A and B are shown apart, each in its own frame.
Chain A
Amino acid sequence: DAGVTQSPTHLIKTRGQHVTLRCSPISGHKSVSWYQQVLGQGPQFIFQYYEKEERGRGNFPDRFSARQFPNYSSELNVNALLLGDSALYLCASSPIRTDGYTFGSGTRLTVV
């Protein structure tokens, strides 16, 4: 069974640019969440989607947006990148919302 897959694994962008990160959940998992992990910190919640609807949003600016597709895969979009957006972005999926989430290996975003 494939785990949670994220692409790309690494990305370098310039300030002001836009980025799209992608996530494919484990087959059968309908809940997808996104987390931002800054170096030396625990992950911070960005979004949760369940059955293609946004079910929660963390304390992040409107530059951050996401969506979930009919096949339950998801995209995280970040506009007008800032240096402070440099982080590891983790996607997690779960069959039901209170199970322990299964995480992907993340996308390392560097903004220069």
Chain B
Amino acid sequence: AQTVTQSQPEMSVQEAETVTLSCTYDTSENNYYLFWYKQPPSRQMILVIRQEAYKQQNATENRFSVNFQKAAKSFSLKISDSQLGDTAMYFCAFMKREGGGSNYKLTFGKGTLLTVNP
């Protein structure tokens, strides 16, 4: 079974600064997908960024970028120019095909609570 570990339960950053959230995962698979989701107090899980394991290039989405180290099984999220609206719980998630069929489930870490201070 896959596991996803987020070792930082809480982090804080000053507005306009840069912060990096860590994520490691355990798998014997070669083809899989990695995601970062954001969950603000409104509860809705919002997709931040997606990485396909076979792509060596790190994904970027505006102020959000990842550092994907496949051999080290590491997938960190960097948020540049942090904004107050970035305050939320951030979840790292892993997805692969299960059981040779067509089941694609997300396995989530426990999350990192990020607070952006003014």
Contacts and interface: CB of A to CB of B under 8 A. Distances in A.
Contacts, number: 65
B105 A41 contact: no
Contact of A56 (B33, B47, B103): B103
Interface stretch (B14-22, B69-77, B79-87, B106-114): B106-114
Contacts of B43: 88, 105-106, 108
Interface residues of A, number: 28
Contacts of A48: 103-105
Interface residues of B, number: 27
Closest 8 CB pairs of A and B: A56-B103, A42-B108, A103-B45, A100-B47, A45-B105, A97-B104, A105-B44, A55-B103
17 contacts: A41-B111, A42-B93, A42-B108, A42-B111, A43-B45, A43-B91, A48-B103, A48-B104, A48-B105, A55-B104, A56-B99, A56-B105, A97-B104, A98-B95, A100-B35, A100-B47, A103-B46
Interface of A: 31, 33, 35, 40-45, 48, 50, 55-56, 58, 88, 90, 92, 97-106, 108
